[in-house]
Chain A
Amino acid sequence: QKEVEQDPGPLSVPEGAIVSLNCTYSNSAFQYFMWYRQYSRKGPELLMYTYSSGNKEDGRFTAQVDKSSKYISLFIRDSQPSDSATYLCAMSASRYSTLTFGKGTMLLVSP
Chain B
Amino acid sequence: SAVISQKPSRDICQRGTSLTIQCQVDSQVTMMFWYRQQPGQSLTLIATANQGSEATYESGFVIDKFPISRPNLTFSTLTVSNMSPEDSSIYLCSLRSAQTPDTQYFGPGTRLTVL
Nearest to A49 among chain B residues (CB) is B103
Cross-chain contact A42 with B43 (CB below 8 angstroms): no
Q: Does B57 contact A (CB under 8 A)?
A: no
> Which of B42, B48, B96, B106 is within 8 Å of A45, CB to CB?
B106
Cross-chain contact A49 with B102 (CB below 8 angstroms): yes
State the CA gap A72–B40 with chains docked (Å).
Answer: 21
Interface positions of A from 19 to 76, Cβ below 8 Å from B: 32, 34, 36, 41-46, 49, 51
Query: How many residues on B have C-beta within 8 angstroms of the other chain's C-beta atoms?
Result: 23
Q: Which of A10-18, A77-85, A91-99 contacts B (4 or more CB under 8 A)?
A: A91-99
* B 34-48 to A, binary, CB cutoff 8 A, 1 in contact else 0: 000000111101001
State the CA gap A46–B111 with chains docked (Å).
Answer: 20
Nearest to B31 among chain A residues (CB) is A96
Q: Which residues of B does A touch, CB under 8 Å?
A: 1, 4, 31, 33, 40-43, 45, 48, 58, 92, 96, 101-109, 111
